[in-house]
Structure 1
Amino acid sequence: MRPRIGQLLLDFDGVLARYRRERRIAHLAAHAGAGYDRVHAVLYGSGLEARYDAGVVDTGDYLRALGKGIGAPVDEAAWLAARLAATEADPQALARVLALDGRLRLAILTNNGALMARAIPRIVAPLLPRLEGRVLCSGPLGGRKPDPQVFARALDRLGWNPATTLFVDDLFVNVQGARAAGLHADSVRDARALGRVLGRYGLA
């Protein structure tokens, strides 16, 4: 028997948008006049980005550590410029989501720090009327997917029932975490796969 779905929770990078990490690193490197490898090491090799995504460091400390590491101050505007330069909406995915029944509630849950909540509305602007501010980042939730607690906290904040919520991510490990939290969940790699999953649950 097909479950009755009333809410759709979507990952961001890899589902609604295409993210090129190398472009972000190059943008920050140009901003600081630093080498690509240095920026990569500061963001990823040091674990700074993962700690921010998990809420271990706040935005101010994160930006200060990033700026110190790459040799030039990085404020919110510079951070956003780099992220926006590296991310573009998937128009086919957006079209599939926009075609869904207007009564279906939508939200985004992404493994990112709090700053990403400022970038996402600019990248997927056509979805904003449907999202109604429901853009959740893992950092403020105190963890990262696939931790089931992150899904539980997200649904608590949204006021959603896991039994009637479908979660879609491009990484199967995150799908497993969602299922452990009681959500229906499936993985997709592109807009066509997203359409198949939505159809399987009777949403498209």
Structure 2
Amino acid sequence: MSLPGGYWTAMDVYFFDCDKTLYDYDFHRRLPKLAELSGVSQYRLASGWWAGGHERAAEIGEYPTTDDYLAAFADVTGAHLTLEQWQEARRSAMTPIPGSIDALHEAAGLGTVSLLSNNPIPFKDSLPVLCPEIVGVLGGNDLVSAVLGARKPERRIYTRALGRFGVRPEDAILFDDSLANVEGARDAGMHAHRLVKRDDGTFDTEAMREAMHAFASRER
């Protein structure tokens, strides 16, 4: 369905990464907060859970519920966290990127918007707390790798995400900070744009919106 100016709606899907794309993310703020809340050292948390590959496993769905995730986290690290504490630590590492948030809101007027993020189930379950700026716009389109059973840049995460919306690869675009993820999307036949963080710490969201407009007004 076309709109004046060549823009299209129903057929197009705009996928947005979350960390370092919609929200700046700093693990070095999250880890101390986790240590503070749990009473377990940063070293034990990082070496046991992250270096041990458990977060990566969680991101492909090995811990299928939030309770499973938190129980495994306690078994591995000795840190018995409530979901609210996990959320507090996660949120402490996240800072909204205004230009990206604005782009997501604009994209919602051009087609369908969705997250496409490498994250575990507690992240998906916590979106209203972690991402209040975008959760209403997403309308439940909160795809995370734990649900799709694969992580970017694996090809199957893109094909499974496209399948959720019944959309052709050429009618979808991914915005992501990772070059590997962007290249993975392109290899799957999608459009993609890499969000760049400048040396001064700001994000080139102007280029993101230019890419969004170019995609929306492309020839069919």
Q: TM-score, normalized by length of structure 1? A: 0.88
Cα shift at 1:175? 1.1
Does residue 160 of the first structure (1) align with residue 167 of the second (2)?
yes
Equivalent residue number for residue 32 of structure 1: 38
* Aligned-partner Cα distance in 2 for 1:192–1:35: 41
SS of the aligned residue for 2:19 comes to coil
2:3 maps to none
Q: Secondary structure in 1 aligned to 2:152?
A: coil
How many residue pairs get aligned? The number is: 202
Q: Select which of 19, 23, 34 maps to 2:29.
A: 23
Residue 194 (structure 1) aligns with: 208
2:144 aligned partner: 137
Aligned-residue identity in percent:
28
Contact 1:53 1:144 in 2 (8 A): yes
Look up the SS of the partner of 2:127 in the other structure: helix
Q: Kindly indicate whether the alpha-carbon contact (under 8 Å) linking 2:116 and 2:143 is maintained by their aligned counterparts in 1.
A: yes
TM-score between the two structures when normalised by the length of structure 2? 0.82
4+ runs deviating over 4 angstroms: 2-5
How far residue 12 of structure 1 moved from its aligned partner, in angstroms, is 0.6
Give, in angstroms, the shift of residue 101 of structure 1: 6.3
SS for the counterpart of 1:176 is helix
Aligned counterparts of 1:161 and 1:39: Cα–Cα separation in 2 = 41
CA root-mean-square deviation = 2.2
Once the two structures are superposed, the pairs formed by residues 49-198 of structure 1 within 5 Å of their partners are 49-59=55-65, 60-100=67-107, 102-189=109-196, 190=203, 191-198=205-212
Q: Structure 2 unaligned segments of length 5 or more: list them.
A: 1-5, 197-202
In structure 1, the residue corresponding to 2:76 is in which secondary structure? helix
Kindly provide the amino acid, as one letter, of the partner of residue 206 in structure 2: R
Please give the secondary structure, in 1, of the residue aligned with 2:134.
helix
Deviations 1:123-165 (A, max 9, x none): 4334334311101110111111101101111121233222211
Unaligned runs of 5+ in 1: none
Moved more, 164-173 or 186-195: 186-195
Q: Do 1:83 and 1:119's aligned partners in 2 also have CA atoms closer than 8 Å?
A: no
Q: Distance in 2 between matches of 1:174 and 1:144?
A: 9
